[in-house]
């Protein structure tokens, strides 16, 4: 019975960390793109914003899962949550940096493309980069 309670506490803790990391990922993406994502997605139904946020959410989840699996949970719940949080924040920072780098090296502003109501193929480049970078970070964590 004690093991069930301990596992439940770990699940709640890691669930909270994962939720916070994914929320931070959304907020960082919102800061990096022009306009407000909630308006672009839910009011304007912007396909570029939807694709980018979807890729960012998947990428953040990949990093969080890897961070949890690689956490220092054997040292206790506190150390596990701290390490998973730090790994998750590193993943978000690298994904944000890759977004900015892609925006700098491409012939058109990816940031402007995201805000455009017309779907643009460059959004796939940015979305794929988000997920790819997340996978690289996840592999580095494990």
Say what the pLDDT of residue 79 is.
Answer: 84
Q: What's the confidence (pLDDT) of residue 28?
A: 92
Nearest Cα to Cα of residue 123 among 39, 41, 19, 18: 41
Instruction: Kindly report the backbone phi and psi dihedral angles of residue 36, in degrees, each rounded to the nearest multiple of 5, phi listed first.
Output: -100, 125
Ramachandran sector of residue 35 (left: φ over 0; alpha: ψ -120 to 50; beta: rest): left
Low-confidence stretches of the chain (pLDDT < 50) are none
Q: How far apart are CA 38 and CA 54, in angstroms?
A: 13
User: What pLDDT is attached to residue 111?
Assistant: 76
**Among the listed residues 31, 32, 34, 55, the one whose alpha carbon sits nearest the alpha carbon of residue 129:** 55
pTM across the whole model: 0.84
Residue 1: the pLDDT is 67
Residue 136 CA, distance from chain mean position? 13
> In sequence order, what DSSP letters do the residues of the chain get, joined into one string?
-HHHHHHHHHHHHHHHHHHHHHHHHHHHHHHHSSS-HHIIIIIT--HHHHHHHHHHHHHHHHHHHHHHHTS-GGG-HHHHHHHHHHHHHHHHHHHHHHHHHHHHHSSS-HHHHHH-SS--THHHHHHHHHHHHHHHHHHHH-
């Amino acid at each position: 019975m004690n093991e069930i309670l301990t596992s439940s506490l770990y699940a709640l803790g890691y669930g909270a960390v994962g939720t916070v990391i994914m929320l931070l990922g959304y907020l960082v993406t919102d800061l990096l793109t022009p306009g407000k994502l909630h308006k672009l997605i839910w009011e304007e139904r912007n396909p570029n914003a939807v694709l980018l946020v979807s890729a960012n959410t998947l990428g953040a989840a990949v990093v969080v899962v890897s961070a949890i699996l690689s956490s220092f949970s054997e040292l206790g719940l506190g150390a596990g949550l701290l390490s998973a949080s730090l790994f998750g924040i590193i993943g978000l920072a690298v994904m944000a940096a890759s977004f900015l780098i892609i925006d700098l090296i491409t012939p058109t502003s990816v940031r402007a493309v995201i805000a455009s109501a017309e779907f643009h193929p460059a959004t796939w480049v940015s979305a794929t980069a988000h997920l790819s970078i997340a996978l690289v970070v996840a592999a580095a964590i494990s």
